[in-house]
Amino acid sequence: MGAEDFDFALHVCESIAFTLHGALRLSEPCTGIFGKFIAKDSVPYPNIFFPIVGLISLVVSVVNIVCSGSDTIILAVQAYVVAWHSAAAFTHIRIGDPIFVTGVPGAR
């Protein structure tokens, strides 16, 4: 298995994660997972916020596979991931969660 094969396998894993998170965000108005459970209704998100982010995540998952040969596109995808996770970390800090929650999945 060469470096290109390994790189493509990583893109597939990332795209699966983007797709799953996109589906969760699209269903946020029905489930309330992010707004009510995770953010404890302390951050005033508009109802359309998470579905829009879900659509963006689904687009990112497709672009991550289709354009896996373009370093510029992949860098943009990774920048989106960093921006989203940074915003999530700052939200956890804002609502008063312990600092370790920002780095440990499922720590709440």
pLDDT of the chain, 108 residues: tens digit per residue:
687 888 888 888 989 999 998 998 899 888 877 776 666 666 677 788 889 989 999 998 998 888 877 888 888 888 988 898 888 788 778 878 777 776 666 555
Q: Which pLDDT belongs to residue 23?
A: 93
3-state SS of 61-83 is: HHHHHHCCCCHHHHHHHHHHHHH
* Residue 108 forms part of a structural domain: no
* Residue 48 forms part of a structural domain: yes
Cα-Cα-Cα-Cα torsion 12, 17, 20, 23, nearest 10 degrees, comes to -100
> How many domains would you assign to the chain?
1
* Residue 79 forms part of a structural domain: yes
Domain range for 35 is 3-102
Q: Which pLDDT belongs to residue 26?
A: 92
* Residue 107 forms part of a structural domain: no
Q: Which pLDDT belongs to residue 40?
A: 64
Q: Which pLDDT belongs to residue 44?
A: 73
* Residue 11 forms part of a structural domain: yes
- Alpha-carbon separation of residue 7 from 21, 35, 55, 64, 73 (angstroms): 21, 34, 25, 11, 14
| Nearest by Cα to 55 from 23, 79, 11 | 23
